[in-house]
Amino acid sequence: MTKDQIFEFFRRLAEDNPDPQTELEYGNAYQLVVSVALSAQATDVGVNKATRALFAKVETPQAMLDLGEEGLKEHIKTIGLFNSKARNVILLSQLLVDEYGGEVPDTREDLVRLPGVGRKTANVVLNCWFGQETFAVDTHIFRVGNRTGLAKGKTPEQVEAKLEKRVPQPFRLGAHHWLILHGRYVCKARTPECWRCQVEDLCSFRKKVLEKPKGR
């Protein structure tokens, strides 16, 4: 895509959804960290179902430690890999209490020190809570970046670097939300719904599905 095409790509997505937000439910920075950590290889819908009752009880790292690993498992046992995720949440909560006064740090370097928090999770927290212009590349963004030609790369890190370089203002803060939502609901993995895509003409994907399949 050219610079003008990229600008128009995001302009249209922004026009359709002026205030994009994560679909994870949380009340503070700590709950956001926990939600994103739990969302690995799981859906936001599934995570939200598990965390509603949990977050009614737990708002701080210390409260999570008081609940304990077994208590946490009871809340998140419907989420994939819940055993390892529960262990990591307890460990990251302990680290936040011991080294950060129970507060979530606002730098990527500090965030990725937390057990179960990788670069993607850190980028989500920095963007959604601290308002930093980061690009959290999940499977949806990786697919959309490569499929459309917006940001091609063989790894999430390569796609992130391309987005960092190519996404213009005023779209940088909301870019990763627009791309995730576009990938989740329109540019789907198995059958992209190009027939209703607002940026289809800007996309370089060769196998576009321009007619709605029967029965859909």
pLDDT for 105-145, tens place per residue? 999 999 999 999 999 999 999 999 999 999 999 999 999 99
pLDDT at 215: 67
Mean predicted confidence (pLDDT) in 182-210: 95
pLDDT at 194: 96
Same domain, 90 and 156: no
Same domain, 145 and 183: yes
- Alpha-carbon distance of 204 to 215, in angstroms, equals 27
Closest CA to 75 of 96, 57, 61: 57
For residue 213, being part of any structural domain is answered with: no
Same domain, 114 and 44: yes
Query: What is the average pLDDT value for the chain, to the nearest integer?
Result: 95
- For residue 157, give every residue at least 6 positions away whose Cβ sits within 8 Å of its Cβ, in sequence order, or none: 119, 137
For residue 166, being part of any structural domain is answered with: yes
Range(s) of the domain holding residue 181: 3-19+135-202
Is 194 annotated as contributing to ligand binding? yes
Among 129, 146, 171, the domain boundary falls at: 129
For residue 216, is pLDDT > 90? no
pLDDT at 180: 95
pLDDT at 40: 86
Q: Is the CB of residue 47 less than 8 Å from the CB of residue 35?
A: yes
For residue 211, being part of any structural domain is answered with: no
Same domain, 98 and 174: no
Same domain, 114 and 164: no
> Model pTM?
0.91
Is 128 annotated as contributing to ligand binding? no
The number of folded domains in the chain is 2
**Residue 198 CB coordination number (10 Å):** 13
Annotated catalytic residues are: 120, 138
Among 99, 129, 159, the domain boundary falls at: 129
